[in-house]
Amino acid sequence: MDPNSSYLPGLSRRVLLSALAVAPAVIGPLRATPAWAQGTDPLPSWNDGQTKTSITTFVARVTTQGGADFVPPAERIATFDNDGTLWIEQPMYVQLAFILDRAKALAPQNPGWKTKQPFKAVLDGDLRALAASGEKGLMELVAVTHAGMTAEEFAKIASDWIGSARDHRFKRPYTELVYQPMLELLAYLRANGFKTFIVSGGGIEFMRPWTERVYGIPPEQVVGSSIKTRFEMQDGRPVLFRLPEINFIDDKVGKPLGINQHIGRRPIAAFGNSDGDLEMLQYTTMSGGVRLGGIVHHTDAEREYAYDRQSHFGKLDKALDAAAINRWTVIDMKNDWKRIFPG
Amino acid sequence: MDPNSSYLPGLSRRVLLSALAVAPAVIGPLRATPAWAQGTDPLPSWNDGQTKTSITTFVARVTTQGGADFVPPAERIATFDNDGTLWIEQPMYVQLAFILDRAKALAPQNPGWKTKQPFKAVLDGDLRALAASGEKGLMELVAVTHAGMTAEEFAKIASDWIGSARDHRFKRPYTELVYQPMLELLAYLRANGFKTFIVSGGGIEFMRPWTERVYGIPPEQVVGSSIKTRFEMQDGRPVLFRLPEINFIDDKVGKPLGINQHIGRRPIAAFGNSDGDLEMLQYTTMSGGVRLGGIVHHTDAEREYAYDRQSHFGKLDKALDAAAINRWTVIDMKNDWKRIFPG
């Protein structure tokens, strides 16, 4: 399938999605000696400079016992968007690649799909026709690929796919196309008493099978979009059967709602990369106290991708303007990161 | 208000609620020496006997490295109902007492309530009239007491109330009318690598302000019923405004759904006390492997209350029958517990 995503615009907005990034900003004045300057660098894949300093300074301030900005460990909640913030989202959301692959895999059992949209478009690799099927078409694809099985069956389907699928450009599993600097950031925050959560527009059950292994984030710390399930007995065993109906969209204003529902505390740090993360960043940072808002700005067409205001996936426009106003840390991928992927 | 709850039957079922309990059962054959028999008793408020042994044997089996039933720490999820399982639910759910108190507190600003149901019933202490107002009446009370303010404002209202309200019979704050043996059980499980969650029909935001202090369970490990919220800016600050509309009812079949949504793993141990916990106990125990299902059976009218099949709050009927079939551990409050409350 053509990796050019220009025919998949609003299509995936409601059902898939993601987070933000540009122009260096620092969280308040620099007071403490950054932790990384005191010993072993906990963020070795980050170039020294304002961006890195804004992170380490924030952590030093909220973890300094007796300091004016000290935050008790229980309140050190940090939330991370997934698509475009922790792993790649170009040329299309990974979950959309899953949907297309899965629909193709199911096609032999559904001969009628050869002549019926949106399935025909998927089988023909015709992204223009797929886009023309609109949100209704995408929901039909979600229904056949994400519903109609138990939660455990879906977890296995998602797990098997993520283990075998490869990105076309990088020829690597998607779980290796995570950002090494962000893995270091997650570990660094946890080492400083933070509890790290994913808050993604992506499907919660699509992420949970691998987030612990890849990010060190257990299922109970993953917040995402979901479809409804029904409790039922199958052969005397209680299961949750997945229904073709949206339960919750964890994007834009949905992110603060999802955070409140799942976590019940306002984060003190949040990272995203698109307009879908705007409200999460506002909710986190505009609440008094020292807070850290971060935006991954994709500026590196050579090592990854370069996109922002015009992108169909991970559009970063309003949140980029808001970053300057709110002094969020904008991570310039090209200049701030020594390497992009692990290994 | 008359503590006799017989006029508040189905009223609170959907909106408030709770878990199970009777007849000793043991999880499979006893293989290991119970942990409490090896040294300091971790469950000092539990009388020795089959009930206690069923718990300690289960814990020994799933935590014995190299044993056939070993469960890795990450999968040691234990869920607990709240009302009637961790604290009292008679003569009415604590949250219902909050609703009635709160409506009375708001009455001076709402002079029309003197002549309008269901408010008049609350002000007159007329439980029969309140019951007659049905679910619609209760939803009106929930709306005026739980909605129309921000999440943070509601947390303060709930927190202030829980700090000042006293149970009529025991003359103590409700947070002291928690079950000492269950506090020990929570701590014992955590000491054995379990992650403990509340999964209650009660309001999630009603519980979160105090669960960490009282049970050692942080907000992000509380699952409960909820109303919808709206993200909005108030004076330039992002808030979640509480709406008079049900979002999720965490009771009966809702409990497995809530567990899946929030935790994303099937628990290996679950405790409840009423028919509202039946599906959670089924979901937990009927899934293969060594599992522990527990039901607190209220059999002690002298030290607490005695009720089961006929009770309006915490009705235990179907789940009591299921306990015998499924070999769940039924905790006989009168005979299994040395003391009921702390202190």
Average pLDDT, integer, range A2-31: 35
- Statement: residue B20 has pLDDT above 50: no
Closest CA to B207 of B131, B146, B254: B146
- Statement: residue B144 has pLDDT above 80: yes
* CA A78 – CA B277 distance, rounded (Å): 33
Q: Give the type of residue at B206.
A: F
Q: pLDDT tier at B38 (50, 70, 90 boundaries)?
A: low
User: What are the tokens at B7?
Assistant: 């006029």
Q: Which of A196, A220, A285 should we substitute to test contact with B (largest number of B Cβ atoms within 10 Å)?
A: A220
CB nearest A238 (choices: B151, B204, B286): B286
Q: Are A314 and A307 in contact (CB under 8 A)?
A: yes
Q: How far is B286 from chain A (nearest CA, A)?
A: 6
- Statement: residue A15 has pLDDT above 70: no
- How high is the ipTM of this complex? 0.89
- Statement: residue A9 has pLDDT above 90: no
- Asked if B268 is an interface residue toward chain A (Cβ–Cβ < 8 A), one would say no
Rounded to 5 degrees, φ, ψ at B154 are: -65, -40
- Asked if A151 is an interface residue toward chain B (Cβ–Cβ < 8 A), one would say yes
CB nearest B263 (choices: A219, A231, A247): A219
Q: How far is A147 from chain B (nearest CA, A)?
A: 15
183-212 in B: which are within 8 Å (CB) of A? 195, 204-205, 208, 212
Q: Are A198 and A211 in contact (CB under 8 A)?
A: yes
Q: Which residue on chain A is closest to B238 by alpha carbon?
A: A283
The pLDDT assigned to B127 comes to: 85
- Would you say the pTM of this structure is higher than 0.80? yes
* CA A261 – CA B247 distance, rounded (Å): 10
Judging contacts by C-beta atoms under 8 Å, the chain A residues touching residue B212 are 74
Subunit contact B260:A151, Cβ cutoff 8 A: yes
* CA A231 – CA A239 distance, rounded (Å): 6
User: What are the tokens at A256?
Assistant: 């603060």
The pLDDT tens digits of the residues spanning B105-127 come to: 999 999 999 999 999 999 999 98
The pLDDT tens digits of the residues spanning A80-133 come to: 999 999 999 999 999 999 999 999 999 999 999 999 999 999 999 998 899 899
The pLDDT tens digits of the residues spanning B256-310 come to: 999 999 999 999 999 999 999 999 999 999 988 999 999 999 999 999 999 999 9
Average pLDDT, integer, range B128-136: 91
The pLDDT assigned to B324 comes to: 96
Judging contacts by C-beta atoms under 8 Å, the chain A residues touching residue B253 are 230-231
CA angle B105, B226, A195 (to 5 degrees): 110
Average pLDDT, integer, range A180-188: 98
CB nearest A264 (choices: B222, B231, B261): B222
Q: How far is B69 from chain A (nearest CA, A)?
A: 20
The pLDDT assigned to A39 comes to: 65
The pLDDT assigned to B4 comes to: 39
The pLDDT assigned to A127 comes to: 84
* CA B200 – CA B37 distance, rounded (Å): 32
The pLDDT tens digits of the residues spanning A253-311 come to: 999 999 999 999 999 999 999 999 999 999 999 988 999 999 999 999 999 999 999 99
Burial class (CB in 10 A: 0-12, 13-18, 19+), B314: buried
Percentage of chain A exceeding pLDDT 70: 89
